[in-house]
Structure 1
Amino acid sequence: MKYTTEKKQTIVLYILEKIVAETQSLSKVVAETFNISTNTVHTYLNELIEKGIIEKQKRGKYNLVNTHNEYTFKRSAGDLISDTLPYEVCLEKEIKHLGENVRRIWSYGLSEMVNNVIDHSNAENMKVIIIQNYLKTYVLLMDDGVGIFEKIKNHFDLPNLDEAICELFKGKLTTDEANHSGEGIFFTSKMMDVFLISSSGKIFTSSKFEDDNILDISSKVKGTCVLMSLSNFTHKTPKEIFDQYSDIEGSFITTRIPLKNIFDAAPVSRSQAKRVCNRLEKFEEAILDFDGIEWMGQGFAHQIFVVFQKAHPEISIVPQNMNDSVESMYNHVIKTN
C-alpha cells in the first residue's frame, strides 16, 4: 500500500521518536500504532539507514545519526565583531532545508547569545558546536570570559549567584542599559525547546534537561556555556513568542517566572518572595508558574500576593499551575487580608 507523503512522514517521525525513547519491540509498536505490517516498518527502517538518518546497533536497536561540527572565534583575530557572523558561517548552511520559522528562531537566538559574548563577557575565545540529527538541532556556545552570573552579581551588587539567576528569569536585565534592552535571553529561552546556561558551577534553565554528556562539557567551561536545542519540525514562530509577552504596540510587558527553576525546595520565606518581586515593577503582568512546586509557606505567599500587590496595584500578578496545597495557601492569604 502506498501512502501519501504526509502520512509517510508521520510514520517516519514516529519511528524516530520511538528510537530516541529506546522503545522495546519497535517494529511491533509502530505496526500496531499505524495498522501496518512489520515488513512495512522494516522497509521504512532500511530506507532510513540507507539515507544515513539512523544506524543499526544490534537486532531491533537503532540510533539516530548525529553530525558534529565545531568552530572557534578569536577576538584578537577580529572574529568577535559581528553577532550575525557565527550564524552565517556555522549554522545557516546546516538548517537551510528547514522551515522559515525554524531558521528565524535560530537566527535570532544565536545572534543574541553571540552579542552577549561580544559585548559583555570580555572573552578572548568563543567556540560554537553544532550537533544535528533528523529530529533536532543543538547549538553549544562557549566562551572563556567573565561568567554571566558573576557579571550580573557584581554589576547589581547582589549577595550571591542564585540572586543573579533569579533576576535573569524575569527579563529586562542588562549590565549596559544604554545599548541593550535585556530581552535577548528571556525571549530566546522561550523560543527554544531547551535553553540552558552554565557558568560558575550554576545552571539557568527554562526546561528539563538531563543529558549528562552535555552537562559534563558545560561544567568544564571557564566562562559561560549556552546550550540551545530546537526541533527541526517545530511550528513555533518568533512572532508568536514575542506576542505572548508584549502589548499591541510590541512593548515587553509580561514576564513568566518558573519558580521550580529558582528554588531547590518549596519557597517559604518573605526574603525568597522579595527575590521574586524584585524589579517586577518593570512589567505590567507577572506570571508566577508554580508547576513542580509542592507547597509554599504563608510568609512567601503573603509577601507576594498581599504586601507587594498592595504596594503595586497596577501590576497583575497571575499564579499558574498551582496544585491543591499551593492554591489553598494562596486562597488563605488572600481571604485573610
Structure 2
Amino acid sequence: MHTLISEDRVLAHGKTRDRFYELKPRVNYSKSIKISNEFSHIDMLQNQILPNLKILSKNVYDICEFSIMAVLSNTIDHAKASRIYYKLFVTDYDVHIILSDNGRGIFDHIKQSLDLDDLHVAAIEIAKGHVTSDPENHAGDELRTVVHLFDKVTIDASGLCLSYFNPNKDWTSNVSSHQKGTRIHLEIKTNSTRKLEKVFHRLFDKERRFIRIPVSLVRTAGEQVSSRQQAQCLLNNISDLQSIEFDFNHIDLIGPAFADELVRKTKQKNNSININWINSNKVVDVLMSRAVNRLT
C-alpha cells in the first residue's frame, strides 16, 4: 500500500481508522459531440479517443480501436443521431468503453428493417449474429465480431438490455431504463491475452454457415418456454444455414408444442439443415429428440 501511495496510484477516503483506499483510474475521460456536416467519426477516433488508450497493451488496444470504429460507423450509417457520447475508463484491471447516441435505437431499427414482430425478436437476431438491415451494402459481421472480442458487451436501447458474457458464451436480456438511442458498454480485462487476428480467424475461417441460438432470450419475464409462438421467434433468417444449434442454458423445461414447432418450422424453412442442441437437461433432450424423430 505504501508503494501505491508513493506512486500516487490510490485515492484515500476518510480519516484514521475509517480511512480506506481505492485505485485511481489510469484513464477517466468522457465527451459529448454534436454530429454536424463537418463531423468525422474517423477524426474523433484518431484524435480524441485513441490517444487516451495508448497505455494499453497492443492486443487490447487493437481490439478497442477496431470495435470503437465499428460501433461509430454503425451509428453514423443507421442511427440518425444528432449527438454521440463516449466514456473511456481504464484501471489496472479493467477497460470500460461506453458509446451512446440519441438516435434510433438499434433494436427498433432492426425490427423495422427486417419486419420483425417485436423488439425482443430483434435482440434475438443480434444474438444469432450475421444480422444486417442493409444486405446489399453490409454483411452484418461487425457487431457480431465486436461481441466476441470483449469479456462482456451490454446493449441498451428502447427499454431493452441485451448482454453477452464471453467466458461462458452466455446471453441474457432484461428491462432497461435506456429509451432514446443506443448505449453500448464494452468491457475487457486490461491484461487480456485475446488477440484481434485470432478472433477473426475463429469466426471467419472455413465459415460453416452455422449459428447458435440462445433459447432463453424468448422469455421476457421468466415465463415458461412452451408455446409455438415462442419457437417461431427464434427462426427468422435461417434459410441459408447448414447447421443450427439451440442453446438451452438457463432453460429447465420446454413444452412439447415448443419443441415440435422448433424442429418442424426449422425443417420447413430449410429441410437440409442439421439441428443440434447444447446445455440441455434430460427433459429437454427427450422432447427435442422426440420432435426430431417424428419429422425425420
TM-score range, shorter chain: 0.7 to 0.9
Instruction: Give the Å deviation of 1:153.
Output: 1.7
SS at match of 1:271: helix
1 or 2 for the larger relative contact order (CA 8 Å, sep ≥6)? 2
Q: Is 1:51 the equivalent of 2:11?
A: no
Code of the aligned partner of 2:100: M
SS at match of 1:179: coil
TM-score after normalising by structure 2: 0.83
TM-score after normalising by structure 1: 0.74
Q: Is 1:92 the equivalent of 2:50?
A: yes
Instruction: Give the Å deviation of 1:294.
Output: 1.6
CA 1:326 to 1:46, structure 2 compared with 1: closer, same or farther past 3 Å?
A: farther
Retained in 1: the 8 A contact 2:152–2:165?
A: yes
Q: Which residue of 2 aligns with 1:269?
A: 227
Instruction: Give the Å deviation of 1:141.
Output: 0.8
Q: Is 1:319 the equivalent of 2:277?
A: yes
Retained in 1: the 8 A contact 2:159–2:178?
A: no
Unaligned runs of 5+ in 1: 1-44, 209-217
SS at match of 1:196: strand
Deviations 1:110-145 (A, max 9, x none): 111101111101111111111111111111111111
Match for residue 64 of structure 1 among 23, 43, 47:
23
Q: Is 1:222 the equivalent of 2:177?
A: no
Name the CA distance, whole Å, in 1 between partners of 2:8 and 2:179. Answer: 32
Name the CA distance, whole Å, in 2 between partners of 1:190 and 1:243. Answer: 12
Match for residue 101 of structure 1 among 53, 59, 74:
59
Retained in 2: the 8 A contact 1:206–1:261?
A: no
Matches within 5 A, 1:17-28: none
Q: Which residue of 1 aligns with 2:163?
A: 205
Q: Which residue of 1 aligns with 2:170?
A: none
Code of the aligned partner of 1:63: E
Code of the aligned partner of 2:275: I
Q: Is 1:237 the equivalent of 2:195?
A: yes
CA 1:298 to 1:240, structure 2 compared with 1: closer, same or farther past 3 Å?
A: farther
Deviations 1:277-317 (A, max 9, x none): 21122333333222212222212222223542465243333
Name the CA distance, whole Å, in 2 between partners of 1:233 and 1:247. Answer: 26
Deviations 1:46-81 (A, max 9, x none): 3234334444557695433234211222222522x3
Name the CA distance, whole Å, in 2 between partners of 1:149 and 1:273. Answer: 19
RMSD: 2.6
Match for residue 76 of structure 1 among 25, 36, 52:
36
Instruction: Give the Å deviation of 1:95.
Output: 2.7
- Larger relative helix fraction: 1
Name the CA distance, whole Å, in 1 between partners of 2:180 and 2:57. Answer: 35
Moved more, 164-173 or 123-132: 164-173
Name the CA distance, whole Å, in 1 between partners of 2:242 and 2:197. Answer: 20
Matches within 5 A, 1:235-314: 235-248=193-206, 251=207, 253-264=209-220, 265=222, 266-309=224-267, 312-314=270-272
SS at match of 1:288: strand
Name the CA distance, whole Å, in 1 between partners of 2:117 and 2:269. Answer: 24
Q: Which residue of 2 aligns with 1:110?
A: 68
CA 1:178 to 1:233, structure 2 compared with 1: closer, same or farther past 3 Å?
A: same
Unaligned runs of 5+ in 2: 167-175
Q: Which residue of 2 aligns with 1:127?
A: 85
When Rg is computed on C-alpha atoms for both structures, the one with the higher figure is 1
Name the CA distance, whole Å, in 2 between partners of 1:55 and 1:317. Answer: 54
Code of the aligned partner of 1:258: P
Q: Which residue of 2 aligns with 1:3?
A: none
